[in-house]
Structure 1
């Protein structure tokens, strides 16, 4: 089999949520100095160039704003190439959304030098940086300077520190290295990992993973979630974007599904990770069992039925998300691709069968509009469009869906998924129960490992 080894699979991924804690002040905004005297633009530009020549740096202007009209400590239009390596960049205003404005090569405190932007999310940005003290590459999550995101970041730090104390080997969840408050942005320093499973699928044209790789991903994911549940923590936002490969290396292998095509189309390859090791990230929405639970949690595609119906949620909502993730890794596409509750519930019934009447009877009053005559889903009568109806009708039953994509182990996988995707949260498999399922143990028994 022809293989090709490749390094660096580009990476993106992220998300968030709230609570207060005294902050460490790294580089707070200085007191506003008196307004500088107005200087004609030509004179200001001459002074700027003279300063640049003396300091041996070259100013680059990225907007047509008059330099003399903006105080230098808050000028977001001037970026300097060649800032002294152990100094701080000039103070700039955040952008309109509260994101930190930076330039590649600058410092984030004297310790960290910015190498590249790895990704961006609703919470802020993730920057690849060089840690000048430890001489290693790290990923720094720079949170937006908006209070609710700052509070969510402090919750995430609490969770990360708790996980780090108990995860001695650091094999289950991303490891926090450090954190600080820089210019009103909470910055969390992490070990640098590879791409998310979602990014890998996307860059791989949404071609599914082999079943043996899905089994290994599933085992590690369940071990990580079981570890969190033992600590009385509920992740609440499990999805492929929040599962990162430890390594960016991958290999190219022939994709046998396409070998039947004519030779004129050229060879068909797909990428496979060189290592199957993964880690969980993004604990900004993680909740302690004893904390108040918000009404809605989880990203839409991975949201459990009890959350949609307003029945309250707990550990089982994570298990439902894992079931959806395993289907996506096998098929290459999200199981429930929807953006509205009624359509989502109709998709569930199409794939898994009708919702239990007792769940519907206990549902929150806000969900009554989704049902007719008490316990029948208002579908297709309540559909918003014919496209919505087609999106539901094209979905197969769960066993048929899995058998379209899986040859070996299909029966075991279907049985596991039916345990993870049970409507009633109390009947759903727990993480440690799922780890003992034949989907994970049958091959081990066959070779005498158990």
Structure 2
């Protein structure tokens, strides 16, 4: 199925009507104009966005690679001036602290051998403070940097009086030692007079077949890491639904039980259509598979963006006006989810689905990775290209990681290119450094994973696979970020849009707005664009 995009004549007619009526916005809704390679552009044709931009084009990786050996790096660090105690010893200590946590090729070098100690994530903070790896980075003015550190006066998130779905159990919910225990029923749908395992570990998906005597398969929609999705007709009420079939795996089963619990919690606390989140219809266990039934939506933003780019003869769908609509709706969903003390933890284009193409309505889905703010937060959350800096560096995080993800999503929809490409964590960090700027000092000194990616003087490094040279040590790549900016990557004169992205992509989470604060940004003002709010 290929979604219908508005006809050019209809779009032109709408814009013409908007220009004729004084109450309509005067500013047309722009779309992105790709960057052309410098070799294909005359110097006279260069725009203001191209000046001092080190990116060749939109496909540029965003960094240069310098190959170096361990001993060469140690020598360079020694010549930069080290604390008393000997340059060689200080340089060796530096490399020990910046070595990758999972290094397995350390034999033959004393510096590398010491680096094979447990990773930063495995060592208690009090036992091995990794901040010493960056003692030479701004050490003389560290106190001044801490005093000058700006802090956003954030409004505390609105906490609603949460409701919980009825357990249907006479005993639960019950409180014991300050902990409230609750439950929900899980129906097991089975065939009478039959036992034993299924013939296949995968539930067969055949068009027109009926699952659990109620849901008739209409179309296969796609698959994800731990589930498959099909469009079904609910024979009970003659309604089209989306069925998510969880793979037969214990870990996937447990994670999906969490998703059901959270969807029930989200659905009972407010109008899911008003708040732009997924509606849950049903869930049950059938033929060794957990099955979740939800409302049926359209394409996700990743697939739809890819489709519209491939159809070069159609007008771009993701104009500034439509991006304004999407941003407002996603912020509404995040504000609601955050008010329930939840973090989405996996916001990306694939998890924002279109509800209406013509009205540009979307909904946020997939709460399988979500967690409560009071949970023991995992260090492995968010898809890499949309992962917030505090998560990558191994710092405490909160609901503001979702705001970083939204900034990445809007930039990607606007340009058609992933803002922070994810060949590796180091390459992603290189693009962040080149586009956004240097990480604040206090983040670098507190991050548990900083020594896995940065040398003591703040250079990004990545070890080259293969055996180390006995004489020269490990072979390393130093990733040198190419200088650019959000303005140069977005290539637009809309100051409000650039500022909106800048706020969402603040490296310091304390400076990043909450969902409620972001909704008050001037770029989201109504009647700015003919196809916007």
Indicate whether the TM-score tops 0.5. yes
Change (3 A) 1:130 1:442: closer
Q: Do residues 27 (structure 1) and 130 (structure 2) align? A: no
Among 257, 262, 274, which residue is 1:154 paired with?
Answer: 257
The C-alpha deviation readout for 1:359-399, integer Å capped at 9, x for no partner, is: 111010x430322225x1325x8689999969x53x73112
In the alignment, what sits opposite 1:372?
455
Q: Do the aligned partners of 1:179 and 1:188 also contact (CA within 8 Å) in 2?
A: yes
Can you give the 5+ residue segments of structure 2 that lack an aligned partner in the other structure?
A: 1-7, 12-181, 311-315, 466-474
Match of 1:190 among 285, 294, 305: 294
When the two structures are superposed, what TM-score results if normalisation uses the length of structure 2? 0.59
Mapped to 2, the partners of 1:352 and 1:397 lie a distance apart of 6
Match of 1:434 in 2: 518
Q: Report what 1:51 is aligned to.
A: none
2:391 matched residue in structure 1: 307
Do the aligned partners of residues 369 and 202 (structure 1) sit closer, same or farther apart at CA in structure 2, a change above 3 Å counting? same
Q: Is the 8 A contact 2:277 2:365 kept in 1?
A: yes
In the TM superposition, residue 298 of structure 1 has moved relative to its aligned partner by 0.2
Report matched runs for 1:226-265 at 5 Å. Answer: 226-247=335-356
1:275 positional shift: 2.1
Preserved CA contact (<8 Å) 1:356 1:423: yes
Separation (CA, whole Å) in 2 of partners of 1:443 and 1:400: 26
Contact preservation (8 Å) 2:460, 2:479? no
Offset from partner CA, 1:235-261 (integer Å, 9 cap, x none): 0000010000113xxxxxxxxxxxxxx
TM-fit CA distance, 1:129: 0.5
Specify which of 216, 220, 235 is matched with residue 329 of structure 2. Answer: 220
Cα distance, 1:276–1:438 mapped onto 2, change above 3 Å: same
Partner of 2:226: 123
Counterpart secondary structure, 1:133: coil
1:93 is aligned, of 200, 223, 245, to: 200
Task: With a CA cutoff of 8 Å and minimum separation of 6, indicate the structure with the bigger relative contact order.
Answer: 2
Q: Which residue of 1 aligns with 2:115?
A: none
Alignment of 1:17-96 (within 5 A): 23-27=186-190, 30-32=194-196, 92-94=199-201
Equivalent residues of 2:241, 2:296 under 8 A apart: yes
- Whether 2:9 is the aligned partner of 1:2: answer yes
Distance in 2 (alpha carbons) for counterparts of 1:291 and 1:140? 29
Separation (CA, whole Å) in 1 of partners of 2:439 and 2:521? 25
Inter-partner Cα distance in structure 2 for 1:100 and 1:314: 38
Would you say the 8 A contact 1:21–1:154 is kept in 2?
no
Residues 280-312 of structure 1: CA deviation (Å, up to 9, x unaligned): 010000101121111111001000011111112
- Cα distance in 1, alignment partners of residues 183 and 245 from structure 2: 17
Q: Report the 3-state secondary structure (helix = DSSP H, G, I; strand = E; otherwise coil) of the residue aligned with 2:283.
A: strand
Q: What secondary structure does 1:246 align onto?
A: strand
1:279 aligns with 2:363: yes
2:279 to 150, 168, 175: 175
Question: Do the aligned partners of 1:139 and 1:189 also contact (CA within 8 Å) in 2?
Answer: yes
Q: Quick check: 1:113–1:129 contact (8 Å CA) kept in 2? A: yes
- Deviations, residues 110-135 of structure 1 (Å, cap 9, x unaligned): 11111111110111100111100110
Say whether the 8 Å CA contact 1:301–1:334 is kept in structure 2.
yes
| Alpha carbons 1:105, 1:114 under 8 Å: kept | yes
Change (3 A) 1:428 1:28: farther
CA distance in 1, matches of 2:294, 2:463: 46
Is it true that 1:112 corresponds to 2:215 in the alignment?
A: yes
| Residue 425 (structure 1) aligns with | 509
Q: CA separation in 2, counterparts of 1:162 and 1:20? A: 12
Q: Alpha-carbon deviations, 1:90-146, whole Å to 9, x = none?
A: x5412xxxx322211111111111111111011110011110011011000000110
8 Å contact 2:459–2:478 — kept in the other structure?
A: no
The count of aligned residue pairs is 338
C-alpha distance in structure 1 between counterparts of 2:272 and 2:184, whole Å: 28
- Residues 217 and 25 of structure 1: CA distance in aligned 2, closer, same or farther (over 3 Å): same
Equivalence for 1:398: 486
Q: Is the 8 A contact 2:390 2:397 kept in 1?
A: yes
Aligned equivalent of 1:363, options 422, 447, 458: 447
Q: Which residue of 1 aligns with 2:19?
A: none
Gapped runs of 5+ residues in structure 1? Answer: 5-18, 33-73, 75-90, 248-272
Q: Per-residue deviation at 1:420?
A: 0.8
Q: CA RMSD in A?
A: 2.8
